[in-house]
């Protein structure tokens, strides 16, 4: 019988677990907790169906730093559901590996891996969610602002997987979030409804609007993402036109609180969703945010293997 705990979306975590993960991330980042032996004699597979910079490198480095062995399996080795059924892949890899980080086009592939595997599965990104990124984002906000209370995040752009997970993370810990997207690019309504349910428990406010000005007014955090994600290249011209008024620039950020921070999950397209002045300016924490992927994911691995008994 399957006994492993997986991280498929932030619905898998309670508010208390998220807070513990952030505390653990702080300890790992500042060397307050010895982590070198966490994955000793363990092998973690990276099953990636699409290219990656931060997700792949941060997991590979983190696993190595914790004395684990990392096995990268790209689409040329494993093409889920094409070369071999996802269930067969999950059952086979469970005999070799101690855990899997999956980066897939369709969220159902991650769900099916978790359903059929006997080892922990971590969602490294799917078309619906990006939970590791959102955990890093919440940690980065707390690290920079030194609190989670009375914070408003303005997410400006596509209602995509990053938006979904960030919204759930904010709702779970009590951060207010305003989401501004063009018409027909709103976040999935079922996920919005789920976030609203969590928000009722934590006191978070969630607003979805088509006005970037309304979303960004008096915000503490401004968050942007690319307008054209992997797999959407054929929509490039249409999307650039549709998102034209959603660029984060000097004029728009004047509506935010003076000490706002700017965040972006990267990669960024300077001159499209954000100007160079903003992403490279004094308010930007995008590279602190990128670094924190390493520390947060080491905390996630501890959560799944529970080596230190923190959960």
- Give 114-162 pLDDT, tens digit per residue: 999 999 999 999 999 999 999 999 999 999 999 999 999 999 999 999 9
The Cα 20–Cα 39 span in angstroms is 20
- Assess whether 130 carries a catalytic annotation: yes
> What pLDDT is recorded for position 78?
84
Pair (92, 54) in one structural domain: yes
Helices (H), the chain: 15-29, 54-65, 86-96, 107-116, 131-145, 161-173, 189-202, 212-216, 236-242, 250-253, 276-279, 286-305
Q: Which of 107, 293, 295, 297 is catalytic?
A: 293
Q: Could you list the residue range(s) of the whole structural domain that residue 135 is in?
A: 131-289
> What pLDDT is recorded for position 84?
85
Pair (249, 160) in one structural domain: yes
> What pLDDT is recorded for position 2?
47
Whether 293 shows a pLDDT value over 60: the answer reads yes
- Assess whether 265 carries a catalytic annotation: yes
Tokens read off for 214? 């309304």
Last residue of a domain, one of 129, 154, 171: 129
> What pLDDT is recorded for position 228?
86
Total structural domains within the chain? 2
Assess if residue 69 is contained within a domain. Answer: yes
Q: Domain of 204: which CATH number?
A: 3.40.50.1370
- Rounded to the nearest 10 degrees, how much is the dihedral formed by the CA atoms of 126, 232, 57, 25? -50
- Assess whether 54 carries a catalytic annotation: no
> What pLDDT is recorded for position 33?
66
**What sign does the dihedral 46-47-53-55 (CA atoms) show?**
negative
Rounded to two decimals, the pTM is: 0.95
Tens-digit pLDDT profile for residues 10-26 = 999 999 999 999 999 99
Mean pLDDT across the chain, nearest whole number? 93
Assess if residue 295 is contained within a domain. Answer: no
pLDDT-above-90 percentage for the chain:
86
Whether 277 shows a pLDDT value over 80: the answer reads yes
Q: Which of 130, 164, 239, 264 is catalytic?
A: 130
Compute the average pLDDT of residues 188-201.
98
Q: What is the DSSP string of 145-182?
A: HS-STT-EEEEES--SHHHHHHHHHHHHHT-EEEEE--
Q: Which of 54, 56, 103, 295 is catalytic?
A: 103
- Assess whether 225 carries a catalytic annotation: yes
Last residue of a domain, one of 86, 108, 129: 129
Assess if residue 28 is contained within a domain. Answer: no
Pair (73, 94) in one structural domain: yes
Q: Which of 132, 163, 170, 265 is catalytic?
A: 265
Comparison of pLDDT for 170 and 233, the residue scoring more: 170
Q: Specify the range with the lowest mean pLDDT, choosing from 83-87, 191-195, 306-310.
A: 306-310
Pair (147, 52) in one structural domain: no
Comparison of pLDDT for 101 and 237, the residue scoring more: 101
Buried-exposed string 283-305: b where 16+ CB fall within 10 A, e elsewhere: bbbbeebbbbbbbbbbbbbbbbb
> What pLDDT is recorded for position 272?
96
Pair (165, 280) in one structural domain: yes
Pair (100, 223) in one structural domain: no
Tens-digit pLDDT profile for residues 35-68 = 678 899 999 999 999 889 999 999 999 999 999 9
> What pLDDT is recorded for position 234?
77
Last residue of a domain, one of 95, 129, 163: 129
Q: Which of 49, 56, 133, 137 is catalytic?
A: 133
> What pLDDT is recorded for position 36?
72
Q: Which of 112, 127, 220, 225 is catalytic?
A: 225
Tens-digit pLDDT profile for residues 203-257 = 999 999 999 999 999 999 999 999 987 667 778 899 999 999 999 999 999 999 9
> What pLDDT is recorded for position 38?
84
């Amino acid at each position: 019988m399957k006994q492993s705990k997986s991280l498929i979306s932030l619905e898998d975590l309670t508010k208390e677990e998220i807070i513990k993960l952030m505390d653990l991330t702080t300890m790992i980042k500042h060397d307050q907790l010895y982590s070198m032996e966490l994955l000793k004699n363990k092998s973690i597979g990276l099953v990636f169906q699409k290219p990656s910079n931060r997700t792949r490198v941060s997991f590979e480095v983190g696993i190595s730093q914790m004395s684990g062995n990392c096995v990268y399996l790209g689409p040329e080795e494993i093409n889920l559901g094409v070369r071999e059924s996802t269930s067969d892949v999950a059952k086979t890899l469970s005999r070799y590996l101690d855990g899997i980080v999956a980066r897939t086009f369709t969220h159902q592939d991650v769900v099916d891996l978790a359903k059929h595997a006997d080892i922990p599965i971590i969602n490294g990104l799917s078309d619906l969610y990006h939970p590791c990124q959102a955990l890093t984002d919440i940690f980065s906000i707390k690290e920079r602002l030194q609190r989670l209370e009375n914070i408003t995040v303005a997410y400006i752009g596509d209602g995509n997987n990053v938006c979904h997970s960030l919204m759930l993370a904010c709702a779970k810990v009590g951060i207010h979030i305003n989401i501004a997207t063009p018409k027909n690019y709103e976040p999935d309504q079922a996920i919005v409804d789920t976030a609203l349910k969590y928000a009722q428990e934590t006191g978070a406010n969630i607003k979805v609007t088509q006005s970037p000005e309304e979303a960004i007014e008096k915000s503490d955090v401004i968050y942007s993402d690319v307008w054209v994600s992997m797999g959407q290249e054929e929509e490039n011209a249409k999307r650039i036109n549709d998102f034209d008024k959603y660029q984060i620039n000097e004029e728009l950020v004047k509506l935010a609180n003076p000490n706002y921070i700017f965040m972006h999950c990267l990669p960024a397209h300077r001159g499209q969703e954000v100007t160079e002045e903003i992403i490279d300016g004094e308010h930007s924490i995008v590279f602190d945010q990128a670094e924190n992927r390493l520390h947060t994911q080491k905390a996630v691995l501890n959560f799944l293997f529970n080596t230190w008994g923190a959960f």
